[in-house]
A = this chain, B = another copy of it.
Amino acid sequence: MSIRTIEWKNNYIRMIDQTKLPQKLVYLNIKDIESLWQAIKLLKVRGAPALGGAAGLGAYLGIRNSRAVNYLQFEKELGRVCDYLASSRPTAINLFWGLERMMRVSQANKNKSILEIKKMLFKEAQMIIEEDRASCRQIGNFGEKLFCDNDSVLTICNTGILATIDYGTALGVIYRAQEVGKRLKIYACETRPLLQGARLTTWELKRKNMDVTLICDSMAASLMQQGKIKKVIAGADRIAANGDTANKIGTSSLAILAKYHKIPFYIAAPVSTFDLNIKSGKEIPIEQRNPAEITELFFKNRVAPRGIKVFNPAFDVTPNALISAIITDKGVIRPPYLKNICSYLK
């Protein structure tokens, strides 16, 4: 049975509520942009590429009932919708990229009727989704060549079907390697605080009958020391022009540990994740999240004293020097990144 992370269905956005996994596979019908904003904020839908899809569908959802009588009025409404959705989470570039793409389509068709523009926007949102599906397949095709039969692979967070429209980025590479006959052993970091690795990655990999072992984030060094990890692969939320990569908190730690143990460390992401407007990772805004994510396990069990100070960044930045290669839908980019990213993305 195939699953759909996010799609347009019966006149609404339909998405898996990822906060309910692995206990229950529950779908949500999102009927207004306020609900979508909440769903993004609370990580009911997450993963940079999936947020690109949510941006397209969300922009359309926000203006499809617009009563604007002229283009200026319509554009203003669409701008408000996009600004609002953009305020949900600051780090993943795909969200902004998707919203901007919708704005551009509107502007490019300003001479058409409002009804016509709405249709174009719907088509664009669907195109973002179809393109993501195709680009994940391409990432898989390019990336699987870096893996060998019997490799044991460490990964963090969730970068699979649930983080994209379909298939995945880092997990897409793993799925593709498996499809071409390479047997991989996967170690999944649980990914504190919200446990996307424990809850989502193990669930996805188990569904596909893959060999997956769950570990706490703090156990990666121990496995590497014992020679049990041959490759590390992670996704990305934003990649700067020099290759510095923002991804789930804990990723840069794995990259340093991999360097120390001389293990290749790969990033897998579609080109929509690159932000060539920023020169280095220092410029990437890092989302700080609710302390209760750490002090109360899923807002149910308090594990730290009340009033304790907490540092809870959702992402960290892995310096380009620690990345062996960036696997994209246009090919595998190797250092020097400043030069090579530019030529691949042209």
Contact = CB atoms under 8 A, between A and B. Distances in A.
B219 A313 contact: yes
A38 interface: no
B309 A221 contact: no
9 contacts: A22-B304, A214-B295, A215-B311, A218-B253, A222-B249, A222-B252, A259-B260, A297-B298, A298-B303
A206 B311 contact: no
A260 B256 CA distance: 7
Given A202-B304, A214-B304, A219 B250 contact: yes
Interface in A182-217: 187, 189-193, 195, 198-199, 202-203, 206, 211-217
A309 B218 CA distance: 17
Given A195-B303, A297-B297, A206 B257 contact: no
Given A250-B219, A308-B212, A311-B213, A190 B187 contact: no
> What is the interface residue range for chain A against chain B?
35 or more
A192 B216 contact: yes
A3 to B, nearest CB: 14
A36 interface: no
B303 A198 contact: yes
Nearest to A297: B297
Minimum-distance CB pairs A-B, first 9:
A218-B250, A221-B253, A192-B216, A217-B218, A222-B316, A213-B309, A198-B304, A22-B305, A297-B297
Interface of A: 22-23, 187, 189-193, 195, 198-199, 202-203, 206, 211-223, 225, 249-250, 252-253, 256-257, 259-260, 294-295, 297-298, 300-305, 307-313, 316-317
A242 to B, nearest CB: 15
A213 B294 CA distance: 11
Contacts of A307: 206
Given A215-B310, A222-B249, 12 more contacts: A22-B304, A22-B305, A190-B192, A190-B294, A203-B305, A214-B295, A214-B304, A218-B218, A297-B297, A297-B301, A298-B301, A300-B300
